[in-house]
A and B are shown apart, each in its own frame.
Chain A
Amino acid sequence: MTKLKTQSLHKRESELANSNRQLEILSNGIFKSGELPKFKDKITEIGQFPLRPKKLEILQINLGYMCNQVCSHCHVDAGPDRKEIMTKKTMQQCLEVIKNTGAHTLDLTGGAPEMNPNFRWFVEEASKAGIKDFIVRSNLTIIRANKKYHDLPEFFKKHNVHVVSSMPHWTRGKTDKQRGEGVFDQSIKALQDLNAIGYGMPNSSLKLDLVYNPSGAFLPGNQASMEKDFKKALLEDFNIQFHNLFAITNLPISRFLDYLIASENYEDYMFALVEAYNPAAVANVMCTNTISISWNGWLYDCDFNQMLDLKVDSKIKHISEYNEDLLNDRNIVISQHCYGCTAGAGSSCQGSVA
C-alpha cells in the first residue's frame, strides 16, 4: 500500500527529480539486456523511425508546476512546493505565437494553471485570437480551494473555455488514494458548480470532459466502456453530467516511475506496455500534431518529453525564436516512455488515438 506523499520529488531531493536519472533507468535494465525491445526498434519495424510531425494542431502551454494537490502519480512532479511558473514576458511571447499559429487547439495545463497570477489576463488575451478549441486543464479542487477561485466556472464560461478535468474514479476511496484526502468531495462540488452554469450538459456548447488515468500499476480499460460506467455512476450518485471521458495511460516517468520502482511493479508494467504495443497507434501519437511549451518557454514534442527535459530536435528550441514551418521539419525525440502512448488503443492528452 502506498501512502500519499505531501512533497514533490524535487522538494524531497529524490534522485528521480533528475530527468537524466529517469532516462538512464528507462534505457538500462530490461531494455539494455534485450529482454524487451527499445521503442526505436519497434517503430523501425513498421517504417516509422524517425517519427515525424504531421500538421500542427495543438499548442499545449504549461503555465507552471505549482499545484494545490500532490497526486501520487503526477508526471509533472507538481505541488505547492514547486515555484516554477510562467512569467508575463513569456506569456506575451506565447500570445504572439497564438495569434499566428495554424493550430486549431490551445491547451493550457500545469500544475494548476489557475494558480499563475497572470492566468486570467492570459486567458482573456489568448481568447481574442479566435482559436477554435481553447482548453484549460483544471484539477477541479482549485475551484473550491479558495474564495478567489470560486468564480472560475463563470470566468471559463465568459471566455468559452473548454474544461478538461482529472477524475481517477467515480468512488471516493480510489480517487482520494491517488489525489489526496478530500479531493473527491471537492471535485464533486466543483463539477456540480460547472454543471449549474451549463458545463457538461447534453447539447451544451460549454464543453466539460473528464480525464481518467489508472490509480495503480495497470493500463486503462476501454475508453468507451469506462465513459459509460463513469456517466452512470456520477449521474446516479451525484446528478453530475459531462461530455467525454479521455482514458490516459500513466507514463513511467517522474512520480509514477518512483511509485513503480518503490512498489516493485516497474518491470511488470514495462512488460505490460510493450505487450500492449499497437503499431496502429503510432501514426496518431500526440507528438505528431502537438507542440508543448514549458513555463520558461522551451519547446518540446509533448508534455512528457518536457518533464524529461528532452527538448525538440530543431534549431528552433525556444518560444522567443518560434517559427512553425522550421519547427515542423524535425525528428521527434523518443525513448522507452513512448510505449505509454502506443499501448492498446493508444493514449494522448485527448484520450485514445487508435
Chain B
Amino acid sequence: MSKTYYDPADLRKFGNITEWSEELGTKFFDYYNSVFQEGALTAREKSLIALAVSHTEQCPYCIDAYTKDGLQRGITKEEMMEAVHVGAAIKSGAALAHGVQMMNKVNKLDG
C-alpha cells in the first residue's frame, strides 16, 4: 500500500474503476466522454472550464490531466492561468458572499 493518499501513477488506473462495477463505470465514462465533445461550446473552451474546476475542487489528478490536455490543444499558459483565476475568484467570492449572512445575523442579534 502507498503511504500517501495521492499517487500520480493512479491517474492511469482511472479506467480500472469499471472492473468493479462495469455497468456504472461504463455509464460514467460514456457520459464523461460525451460531455467533452464539441458542442455549443468548443472542446477547447470545455478544457479550460475543466481546468478551472479542477482547481476549485483541488483535485491533483484533474489538474495534471487538464494541464496536459490544454497543452495538447495549444492553449497557452496565460490562458490557463486566467482560467485558474476565474475559478479562484468564484471560490473566494463564494466565501465572501457568506459575509452577508454574518452581517444579517449580527444585525438581528445585536442591531
Contacts and interface: CB of A to CB of B under 8 A. Distances in A.
Interface in A178-233: 212, 214-216, 218-222, 225-226, 229-230
Contacts of B71: 214-216, 218
A275 interface: yes
A291 to B, nearest CB: 31
Classify the interface of chain A: helix, strand, loop or mixed. loop
Contacts of B73: 221-222, 225-226
B108 interface: no
A271 interface: yes
Which 7 pairs from chain A and chain B are nearest by CB?
A221-B72, A221-B73, A218-B71, A218-B72, A218-B68, A229-B74, A226-B74
A275 B13 CA distance: 11
Contact of A225 (B43, B68, B76): B43
A220 B12 contact: no
Contacts of B46: none
Interface of A: 169-171, 173-174, 212, 214-216, 218-222, 225-226, 229-230, 271, 275
B55 interface: no
A174 B12 contact: no
A51 B72 CA distance: 29
Contacts of B74: 169-170, 212, 221, 226, 229-230
Nearest to B12: A271
B72 A220 contact: yes
A222 B75 CA distance: 13
Contacts of A212: 74
Contacts of A226: 73-74
B72 A214 contact: yes
Contacts of A174: 76
A220 B44 CA distance: 14
A229 B45 CA distance: 13
26 contacts: A169-B74, A170-B74, A171-B76, A174-B76, A212-B74, A214-B71, A214-B72, A215-B71, A218-B68, A218-B71, A219-B72, A220-B72, A221-B72, A221-B73, A221-B74, A222-B43, A222-B73, A225-B43, A225-B44, A225-B73, A226-B74, A229-B44, A229-B74, A230-B74, A271-B12, A275-B12
Interface in B55-108: 68, 71-74, 76
B15 to A, nearest CB: 9
A114 to B, nearest CB: 28
